[in-house]
Amino acid sequence: MVGGMQIRTPACRPGRPRSAAADTAILAATREALVELGWSKLTLGDVATRAGVAKTTLYRRWSGKNELVVDAVAELFGELELPDRGSLAADIEGVVLQFAAILARPEAKSGLMAAIAESTRDDALRERIRASIVDPQKGLVLEGRARAQARGELPPETDPAEAARTVDLIFDVVAGAVVHRTLVSAEPADEEWVRGFTRVLLQGLSSASVPPGPYGPAAASGTSGTSGTSGTSGTSAASGTSGD
């Protein structure tokens, strides 16, 4: 899962086994370097020095910066969980907040996005990202969806192909929105934003300011009756279309 999973079993190869401590030290050093230097100024020689290993050791396990950073960042997203919070809206809000918290960390920001950028020209890298980061997240979407259907919050899906497409769509919408909010808009995906996002996701824009209707029983938002929304401070809304 980390660098190579081919060894580990003692009865596999005769020689000296690879140091597992070196793996964790290298990955931790990579995250540390990402925080301090960012992607572009991160050098493998520096990571090796931080980890206390030789540069050659690093190159024996990872073929380059891309793969190393992906593995280092993937460990961050392994923390994601989806506890049952009682309603679909609460489940979404919970996992989105977790995702946003991870994405707010500097090592995740620069590392993940740069790796994705590189993956547009490197199929093997894209596959590695998908297997170690994306697919586990998609599993959470499946889990939450199944729970919601069991609760009756979502209509059960009859066509399996349609269901697969829907899951992919939801995943792109959720992950994409949080990533865009955090990295491009560079504003925090805090509780208030997550509440608004969840409302749009579940009920759509058409009923944006209309109180919840068909499916939203008490699930509007787990912790609050947000109906009042604290907006005041009227700066300008639709003033100049072309900003700047």
Partner DNA sequence: GAGCTTTCGATACGAGTCGTAGCGTAATGG
Partner DNA sequence: CCATTACGCTACGACTCGTATCGAAAGCTC
Q: Which of 4, 83, 136, 188 binds a copy of itself (CB under 8 A)?
A: 136
Q: Taking the complex as a whole, how short is the minimal distance between the CB of residue 212 and a copy of itself, in angstroms?
A: 9
Q: Taking the complex as a whole, how short is the minimal distance between the CB of residue 125 and DNA, in angstroms?
A: 13
Asked if 125 is part of the footprint of DNA (rule: CB under 7 A), the reply reads no
- Per CB under 7 A, which of residues 20..79 are in contact with DNA? 22, 43-46, 52-57, 59-61, 64-65
Q: What's the CA gap between 18 and 170, in Å, rounded?
A: 41
Q: How far is CA 56 from CA 53, 64, 91, in A?
A: 8, 12, 45
Structure tokens at 198: 């969840």
Answer with the entry of DNA, a copy of itself, none that 139 interacts with (C-beta below 5 to 8 A by kind): a copy of itself
**Residue 93 · residue 221 · CB < 8 Å:** yes
Answer with the entry of a copy of itself, DNA, none that 178 interacts with (C-beta below 5 to 8 A by kind): a copy of itself
Q: Which of 150, 152, 188, 218 binds a copy of itself (CB under 8 A)?
A: 150
Q: Which of 20, 45, 54, 135 binds a copy of itself (CB under 8 A)?
A: 135
Q: What's the CA gap between 56 and 65, in Å, rounded?
A: 13
Answer with the entry of DNA, a copy of itself, none that 180 interacts with (C-beta below 5 to 8 A by kind): a copy of itself
Q: Which of 14, 79, 184, 223 binds a copy of itself (CB under 8 A)?
A: 184
Q: What's the CA gap between 173 and 48, in Å, rounded?
A: 38
Burial of 44 (0-12, 13-18, 19+ CB in 10 A): middle
Q: What's the CA gap between 126 and 79, in Å, rounded?
A: 21
Number of residues that bind a copy of itself (CB under 8 A): 96
Residues whose CB is less than 8 angstroms from the CB of residue 17 and which lie 6 or more positions away in sequence, other chains included: 7, 8, 10
- Using DSSP's 3-state secondary structure scheme, residue 26 falls into helix
Asked if 223 is part of the footprint of a copy of itself (rule: CB under 8 A), the reply reads no
Site string for a copy of itself, 27-66 (x = CB under 8 A): -----------xxx--------------------------
Asked if 5 is part of the footprint of DNA (rule: CB under 7 A), the reply reads no
DSSP state of 199: H
Answer with the entry of a copy of itself, DNA, none that 24 interacts with (C-beta below 5 to 8 A by kind): none
Q: Taking the complex as a whole, how short is the minimal distance between the CB of residue 10 and a copy of itself, in angstroms?
A: 26
Q: What is the DSSP string of 104-171?
A: TSHHHHHHHHHHHHHHTT-HHHHHHHIIIIIHHHHHHHHHHHHHHHHHTSSPPP--HHHHHHHHHHHH
Interface contacts to DNA, rule CB under 7 A: 7, 10-11, 13-19, 22, 43-46, 52-57, 59-61, 64-65
